[in-house]
Amino acid sequence: MPPAAADLARLDTPALLLDEATMTRNIDRLAVRAQSLGVTLRPHLKTAKSPEIARRVGGGAPGPITVSTLAEAETFHAAGHRDILYAVGIAPAKLARVTALLARGCDLTVLLDSPEQARATAAAGVPALIEIDSDGHRSGLRPGDPALIETGRILAARGTLRGVLAHAGESYAALGIAAQADCAEGERRAAVAAADALRAAGLACPTVSIGSTPTAHAARDLTGVTELRAGVYMFFDLVMAGIGACRLEDIALSVLTTVIGHQPDRGRIMIDAGWMALSRDRGTAAQPVDQGYGLVCDLEGRVLPDLIVSAANQEHGIVTRRPGTNGPLPELPLGALLRILPNHACATAAQHERYHVLPATPGPLMTWPRFRGW
Amino acid sequence: MPPAAADLARLDTPALLLDEATMTRNIDRLAVRAQSLGVTLRPHLKTAKSPEIARRVGGGAPGPITVSTLAEAETFHAAGHRDILYAVGIAPAKLARVTALLARGCDLTVLLDSPEQARATAAAGVPALIEIDSDGHRSGLRPGDPALIETGRILAARGTLRGVLAHAGESYAALGIAAQADCAEGERRAAVAAADALRAAGLACPTVSIGSTPTAHAARDLTGVTELRAGVYMFFDLVMAGIGACRLEDIALSVLTTVIGHQPDRGRIMIDAGWMALSRDRGTAAQPVDQGYGLVCDLEGRVLPDLIVSAANQEHGIVTRRPGTNGPLPELPLGALLRILPNHACATAAQHERYHVLPATPGPLMTWPRFRGW
């Protein structure tokens, strides 16, 4: 077997694998895109949760980042990142940890969508973006909501209004680049309209932040936008491939697993990657092609056509042919090693303590720790 | 607020809560049951992953246990457990870690269902149970399969045949105690038939192990069985309540969360427990009552009727009324604390690094670490 495969055969399974060359290509592609669109890229590190990867998304320097927990903010600040956006609606009880980070020199911005949150953050002197709802997906104020101006005024009175943010969460269900470009334009239009409304009320709105992995790759024009966010693009996954936001060969993450049994009369192969290793995410279930709990590849990462993890218990995966397809199962003896492409990279990576990294240049596997918690 | 609630209000959210009194009641109930059925209870610790809890399931002493990973076997052996069953089909590459545990004095038994695995484990001198398939759920040999005797002979020739094991995985979908008792009887009958077949071939079969949480609680008679396994029963969850294997008030685990926003026009309350804190498990989706990503309780653990986490992003939960129900949303202001009952305790607990334990007797919260990995 090739050197990398021999290294993989020495790992305890299940194990999380990261292909460095693929990840680097994904990182570079969006960096070039953001530059050509004239916006700052602020990668979201909720997927990676790794200081090693954080360094790489900034081109080697600790650049601006987005996080989803205060634990991420604290860890990445300790790793040298200064400009951090905590992009989940702030709870007042969390402001003590926020102000502690500010006191340590972190330029942390929080997110909110109500006058009540604005009063609490402004009183604490914490900079904030106002979340704008562009598609009904989750949180945020509509651009025309009178609460937007009220919220902006409360922040501005204490000098803590940084701008607005929108996230087109519905883009994850938009099939094809044309539909994703429409989501991007909706995201842009909502954020810019909100910024314009604040400015018309006499309030400064320096930051206009938008983004999701599909819209970041599909947007054609970002007039009025200052920064772009995306997270899962570093790794990509089957959900992103299923909507056409990437190709299967762009997926940098997989789970290494071992064949532990066979039930030939039922067309089943048992593997030691169950939902504990793959996650319970079934994000492809609603897509045109349901990938079960993941698509099966050989040890070199080549897709074994129509072979999926069709069911998962805690530490057992059941590999079968995709329902509706015909043909024999491949010969996969006891002990054979396989790689499973994940439905949702954020969820699958979260099940693991470390990345086993296949290096872009010949050399031994690297191990990059991941962290978790809140 | 009562003392416990005041302690909870000081936790960072989301956080995993464990009610010690409820857990103890669940542990004691099954211990009494196993005794009255005349079998040894071998609790499965894949749900708990905590030495503190392992000690409690044995009534204070480190008794026989079941595990789903070698990391669990190693950790619980280091914590004093000697009699350990690793109940996932063995891969030959894992035998080095198994024999290292045996060399350290651990009485570790592995599981297998093929002559090929039997040859590898027997050659390594590793004791094994043969997995028996009682319901087509997952792995195992049918009691009448000629491979059973062949596998038994290979093990017996090296003195490593310990017996047989069955797991009625289909019982998790059996609605009501009568259906679960039928599953238990099917599990018992398959295991005993396999043991009888081995004995008829002149092979000793000292251990006849069966169990799942539903069948362990429903079984009426365990003639021929020597030991009973169950795991999630310590905590229970909404999936178990949904099939009638427990009551809602038996659920010992919940996720503490904070209200971070409102969208009154859409009937939505945002919380800071998304799928990262709750898991992606949607095990109640196929049940008569779909609980979304979890059922919402107040800070004291009282169910708020028909209020569920209907959608989840990574760090956002969206609380709504259950579809099809009417009425206003309760008043839950920004910063309010709630507790979410989990669909699947194994999956939800796995998302957390520690249990915050509400003590059975008045006193401060305790913190019990959890481990993970393979």
Give the pLDDT of residue B274. 98
A325 touching B (Cβ < 8 Å):
no
Q: Are residues B78 and B225 in the same domain?
A: yes
B227 and B256 co-located in one domain: no
Task: Determine contact: B266 vs chain A, CB below 8 A.
Answer: yes
pTM, full prediction:
0.97
pLDDT of A1 strictly over 60: no
pLDDT at B284: 97
How far away is chain A from the Cα of B170, in angstroms, using its nearest Cα? 12
- Does residue A3 have a pLDDT over 70? no
Length of chain B: 374
Could you report the per-residue pLDDT of A231-245, keeping only the tens digit for each? 999 999 999 999 999
**A361 has pLDDT over 70:** yes
For residues A201 and A350, membership in a common domain is answered with: no
User: What is the per-residue pLDDT for B2?
Assistant: 59
Chain A, nearest residue to B94 by Cα: A12
Q: What are phi and psi of B369, to 5 degrees?
A: -70, 150
> In terms of residue numbers, what domain contains A139?
38-234
From chain B, the residues in CB contact with A346 under 8 A are 314
- Give the residue-averaged pLDDT of A334-351: 98
Q: How far does the CA of residue B91 sit from the closest CA of chain A (Å)?
A: 5
B96 touches chain A (CB under 8 A): no
Q: Which of A1-15, A176-190, A336-350, B142-156 has the lowest mean pLDDT?
A: A1-15
Query: In chain A, whose CA is at the least distance from the CA of B282?
Result: A280
Region of B197 on the Ramachandran plot (φ > 0 left; ψ -120 to 50 alpha; else beta): alpha
B15 in contact with A, Cβ within 8 Å: yes
Question: What count of CB pairs under 8 Å joins A to B?
Answer: 136
Give the total number of structural domains in chain B. 2
DSSP code, position B330: P
Does A22 map to a domain? no
Q: What residue in B sits closest to A283 (Cα-Cα)?
A: B280
**Which residue is closest to B334 within chain A, CA to CA?**
A91
Q: Looking at the domain assignment, is residue B271 inside a domain?
A: yes
Contact B116 A350 (CB under 8 A): no
* Residue A316 maps to a domain: yes
In chain B, whose CA is at the least distance from the CA of A260? B91
Helical (H) or strand (E) element with B239? helix B238-242
Residue B3 confidence (pLDDT): 59
Q: What is the pLDDT of residues A265-296, one digit of tens each?
A: 999 999 999 999 999 999 999 999 999 999 99
Q: Residue A6 is which amino acid?
A: A
- Whether residue A113 and residue B261 make contact (CB cut-off 8 A), yes or no, is yes
In a domain, B246, yes or no: no
Q: Are the Cβ atoms of A260 and B90 closer than 8 angstroms?
A: yes
Domain boundary among B199, B234, B269: B234
**Order of strands, sheet of B83-89, starting from the edge strand that comes earlier in the sequence:** B40-41, B227-228, B207-210, B161-166, B128-132, B107-112, B83-89, B65-67
Do residues B125 and B99 make contact, with C-beta atoms less than 8 angstroms apart?
Answer: yes
Q: Do A133 and A182 reside in the same domain of the chain?
A: yes
A294 and A333 in a single domain? The answer is yes
**By 3-state DSSP, what share of chain B in percent is helix, strand and coil, each rounded to 5?**
35, 25, 40
State the Cα–Cα distance between residues B131 and B112, nearest whole angstrom.
6
Tell me: pLDDT of A123 over 80: yes
**Assigned domain for B26 exists:** no
CATH number at residue A301: 2.40.37.20
pLDDT digits (tens, 9 = 90+) for A42-72: 999 999 999 999 999 988 888 999 999 999 9
The dihedrals phi and psi of A52, each to the nearest 5 degrees, come to: -60, -45
Q: Are residues A164 and A308 in the same domain?
A: no
The DSSP 8-state label assigned to residue B92 in this structure reads: G
Whether residue B269 sits in one domain with residue B219: no
Q: What is the DSSP string of B49-77?
A: --HHHHHHHTTTS---EEESSHHHHHHHH
Measured distance CA(B352)–CA(B370) in Å, rounded = 7
For A59-70, give one letter per residue: b (16+ CB within 10 A) or e.
eeebbbbbbbbb
Is the domain of A59 the same as that of A180?
yes
pLDDT score, position B124:
98
User: Are B145 and B226 found together in one domain?
Assistant: yes
Distance CA A169, CA B274 (A): 14
Which of A15-19, A134-138, A216-220, A288-292 is the least confident region? Answer: A134-138
- Per-residue pLDDT for chain B (374 aa), expressed as one digit of tens each? 555 778 999 999 999 999 999 999 999 999 999 999 999 999 999 999 999 999 999 888 889 999 999 999 999 999 999 999 999 999 999 999 999 999 999 999 999 999 999 999 999 999 999 999 999 888 999 999 999 999 999 999 999 999 999 999 999 999 999 999 999 999 999 999 999 999 999 999 999 999 999 999 999 999 999 999 999 999 999 999 999 999 999 999 999 999 999 999 999 999 999 999 999 999 999 999 999 999 999 999 999 999 999 999 999 999 999 999 988 899 999 999 999 999 999 999 999 999 999 999 999 999 999 999 99
Q: How high is the pLDDT of residue B58?
A: 84
In a domain, residue B247? The reply is no
Among A88, A270, A353, select the one facing B272 at the smallest CB separation: A88
Of the three residues B186, B203, B234, the one that is the final residue of a domain is B234
Whether B30 is covered by a domain: the verdict is no
Q: What is the pLDDT of residue A292?
A: 98
Question: How many residues are given for chain A?
Answer: 374
Subunit contact B374:A93, Cβ cutoff 8 A: no
Flag if A334 and B275 touch (Cβ within 8 Å).
Answer: no
**Per the CB < 8 Å rule, is A91 touching B260?**
yes
Interface touch A13/B266, C-beta < 8 Å: no
CATH number, domain of B143, equals: 3.20.20.10
- B126 SS3 class: coil
Q: pLDDT class for A26, splitting at 50, 70, 90?
A: very high
What is the pLDDT, as a whole number, of residue B66?
Answer: 98
Under an 8 A CB cutoff, do B258 and A91 touch? Answer: yes
**Residue B240, domain member (yes or no):** no
Identify whether residues A112 and A221 lie together within a single domain: yes
Same domain, B228 and B340: no
Show which of residues 326-365 on chain A sit within 8 Å of chain B, judged by CB atoms. 334-335, 344, 346-347, 350-353
Share of chain A above pLDDT 70, in %: 99
Tell me, yes or no, if A185 comes closer than 8 A to chain B by beta carbon. no
Tokens 């303590």 locate to A353
Three-state SS letters, chain A: CCHHHHHHCCCCCCEEEEEHHHHHHHHHHHHHHHHHHCCEECCECCCCCCHHHHHHHCCCCCCCEEECCHHHHHHHHHCCCCEEEEEEECCHHHHHHHHHHHHCCCEEEEEECCHHHHHHHHHCCCCEEEEECCCCCCCCECCCCHHHHHHHHHHHHCCCEEEEEECCHHHHHCCCHHHHHHHHHHHHHHHHHHHHHHHHCCCCCCEEEECCHHHHHHCCCCCCCCEECCCHHHCCCHHHHHCCCCCHHHCCEEEEEEEEEEEHHHCEEEECCCHHHHCCCCCCCCCCCCCECCEEECCCCCEEEEEEEEEECCCCEEEEECCCCCCCCCCCCCCCEEEEECCCHHHHHCCCCEEEEECCCCCCCEEEECCCCC
At A58 the pLDDT is 84
- A267 with A348, same domain: the answer is yes
pLDDT of A350 reads: 98
Split at pLDDT 50, 70, 90, the class of A137 is confident
Q: Does pLDDT of A4 surpass 80? A: no
- Return the pLDDT at A138: 87
Question: Using an 8 Å Cβ cutoff, are B344 and B286 in contact?
Answer: no
Q: What is the mean pLDDT of residues A300-320?
A: 97
Residue B5: predicted pLDDT: 79
